Amino acid sequence: MVSLATLRNYCAHHACVWNRLFPVPPTIPADMPNAWIGNLAFSANKIYPQLCCIAYWLNGIDAQNTFAADLKALLAKYPTVDAAAMGFPVHWQQEPLWL
């Protein structure tokens, strides 16, 4: 929760978040009951794991939410944005969380 509160504060104060190093990475439980990611080789202090947590929670609240599709569309719309700088691993779109 602390990591997402920090993200919220950065967003609320118009700070750059795409290539920021976050001081408190999210804590990921060892066992996730719903669709999660298999590739854990990412920078824990980048925005990617926080987006994963947001997607996971939204999927638990409403399986029909469009967060994953909207994020994929946004990154596709701006192909010059370096997803790796945000901590996204290669082939992240194929992870169960993002399908």
Residue of 39, 49, 37, 65 whose CA lies nearest to 6: 49
What pLDDT band is residue 9 in, cutting at 50, 70 and 90? very high
Read off the pLDDT of residues 10-39 as tens digits, 9 standing for 90 and up: 999 999 898 899 999 998 888 889 999 999
SS3 94: helix
Torsion sign across C-alpha atoms 80, 97, 18, 66: positive
pTM for the full model? Answer: 0.92
State how far the alpha carbon of 61 is from the alpha carbons of 2, 8, 56, 67, in Å: 20, 19, 9, 12
